[in-house]
Amino acid sequence: MSSNQPVAIVTGAGRGIGRATALELASRGYRLVLVARNLDGLNETSNLVGGALVLAGDVSHNDEVEQVVRNTLSHFGRIDALVNNAGHAPVRSVEQMTIAEWQVTIDTNLSSIFYFTRLVWPMFKRLGGGVIVNISSLAGRDPLPGFWAYGAAKAAINLMGLGLAREGAPHNIRVHTVAPGAVETQMMRSVLSHEQLPPEQALDPSDVAKVIGQCVSGDLKYTSGEVIYVHKTVG
């Protein structure tokens, strides 16, 4: 395997959009680093893509993110792409939300992107470029009741992506923001039943992964800094 073959880190890779993204990027020739808290899910994804570097960790903690990046560089010597997909979406009213749960929501969805970005940025500059894809949500502009904290974190991701894209442009670093609507995942089904949202109205994770792959490969390079909304239109 060539040491020049590109390397991508995918967070939240144990299932759902993260797993579909791993499959998509593997098909595009990327060596993969799969990150999530659940090791069993990561190993299943690794088997599906034909092998990957599996690193269990909680991306809401900066020290664990630092360890992921160190291990990636030790194993592969390079990082070419980062897909920030890990998410946490509690359904709470403002009176129900605890301080601890608010912090976990912000740190998992938003702070983790900062932790990873500040660490991979120097490598991207040394390589002459790189790409970050941040997974936002339609909730960032239109949250369902109870999703206000999750939506606030995703709205911040949208603006963060624009600012980082502008900062990265002189260094050939692209930053894309992909904002799906409802996606048929375990996280979505933990809060919305089939009666509340019929399966035919939800995206398949592979639908989102294809867009992520296009961002990473450069097919959508002119969307750096933009929010790409992906959702079904229900008549």
| 233 belongs to a structural domain | no
- Using the Cα atoms of residue 157, residue 158, residue 162 and residue 163 in order, give the sign of their dihedral: negative
Residue 112 confidence (pLDDT) = 98
Distance CA(83)–CA(132), nearest Å, equals: 6
In one-letter notation, the amino acid at residue 95 is: E
Contacts 24+ apart (CB under 8 A), 101-104: 101/149, 102/149, 104/60
The DSSP bridge partners found for residue 82 are: 9, 132
pLDDT of residue 231: 81
Q: Is 222 a catalytic residue?
A: no
The pLDDT profile of the chain, 235 residues, written as one tens digit per residue, is 457 899 999 999 999 999 999 999 999 999 999 999 999 999 999 999 999 999 999 999 999 999 999 999 999 999 999 999 999 988 899 999 999 999 999 999 999 999 999 999 999 999 999 999 999 998 888 887 888 999 999 999 999 999 999 999 999 999 999 998 765 555 655 565 555 655 555 578 889 999 999 999 999 999 999 999 988 665 4
Kindly report the pTM of this predicted structure. 0.91
Domain contains 231: no
Query: 22: domain range?
Result: 7-226
Q: Is residue 115 part of a domain?
A: yes
Cβ atoms 151, 143 nearer than 8 A? yes
Long-range contacts, stretch 33-38, CB < 8 angstroms, 24+ apart? 33/7, 33/8, 33/9, 33/68, 33/71, 33/72, 33/75, 33/76, 33/79, 34/10, 35/9, 35/10, 35/11, 35/59, 35/68, 35/86, 36/11, 36/12, 36/86, 38/14
Least Cα distance to 150 among 159, 137, 134, 163 occurs for 137
Residue 189, domain CATH: 3.40.50.720
For residue 2, is it within any domain? Answer: no
Confirm if 164 and 132 have CB atoms less than 8 A apart. yes
**Phi–psi pair at 185, nearest 5 degrees:** -130, 165
**pLDDT of 204:** 83
- At 146 the pLDDT is 86
Residue at 234 is within a domain: no
- The whole-number pLDDT of residue 1 equals 44
* C-beta of residue 182 within 8 angstroms of C-beta of residue 16: no
Query: Which ranges of the chain would DSSP assign to H, the alpha helix?
Result: 16-27, 39-49, 62-76, 99-106, 112-127, 148-168, 186-189, 205-217
Is residue 175 included in any domain, yes or no?
A: yes
In a domain, 197, yes or no: yes
The catalytic residue among 30, 115, 150, 222 is 150
Joined together, the tokens standing for residue 172 give 């050939």
Q: How many distinct structural domains can be found in the chain?
A: 1
Instruction: Please compute, for residue 160, the number of CA atoms within 13 A of its CA located in the half-sphere on the CB side.
Output: 24
Residue 83 inside a domain? The answer is yes
